[in-house]
Amino acid sequence: MPVRNVVNRSGRGFRGHFPSRKMKKMIGWESILERYAIYLFEFSPGVLSYCAQPELVYYPDGTDLRKYYPDFKITTTGGISVRIEVNSRDPLEEARRPLKRVEQSPPPDLPAGLDDDLPDFPPIEGDKS
C-alpha cells in the first residue's frame, strides 16, 4: 500500500496510473522511467509483487532528520524484498567527475593605512603564489 499519493492535482510533470493485472489495482507513476519500470515488474516472471512509494524512510543528515520515499518495493519469487529508486542518470556520476580548480582572484586593494594593524602572516607551505 503506497504511503504517498503520486498522482494528484498539484503534481508537476508527467504522471499517471498503470492498470496492473499482477497487483490487481492501479499503480501510480510520476515519470516515464517509472512507468517503464512498472512494465518490467509487471511482465518479469521473477517479480512476485511490487508497490509504488511503499514506505517513508527517515535518515540523519548532519543535525537534520530528513525523509525519503523509495520509488518501488518489489518482492521476488525467492521471497527477497528490494527497494528501488528510478533515476534518469547515474547518482554517482557527479562524484566521479574530477574537481575543477577555481582560480583565486587577488584581494581588493585596501585604502592606504587600513591594513597597518594587520599582522604579516608567513606563506602557507606548498602555496605557489
Domain regions of the chain by residue span: 16-86
Task: Work out the mean pLDDT of the chain and round it to a whole number.
Answer: 79
Cβ-based burial of 124 (10 A; exposed 0-12, middle 13-18, buried ≥19): exposed
pLDDT attached to residue 50: 93
State percent of the chain over pLDDT 90. 22
**The Cα angle at residue 47 between residues 43 and 67, in degrees rounded to 5:** 110
pLDDT attached to residue 9: 59
- Residue of 85, 29, 21 lying closest to 49 (CA atoms): 21
Strands (E), the chain: 16-20, 25-29, 47-52, 57-61, 64-68, 72-76, 81-84
Asked if residue 54 has pLDDT above 70, the reply is yes
C-alpha–C-alpha distance, residues 20 and 25, integer Å: 6
Please give the grid coordinates belonging to residue 56. 517513508
pLDDT attached to residue 59: 86
Asked if residue 8 has pLDDT above 60, the reply is no
Give the global pTM: 0.58
pLDDT band at 40 (very low <50, low <70, confident <90, very high): very high
Bridge-based pairing state of the strands 57-61 and 64-68: antiparallel
pLDDT attached to residue 97: 74
**The Cα angle at residue 1 between residues 16 and 64, in degrees rounded to 5:** 90
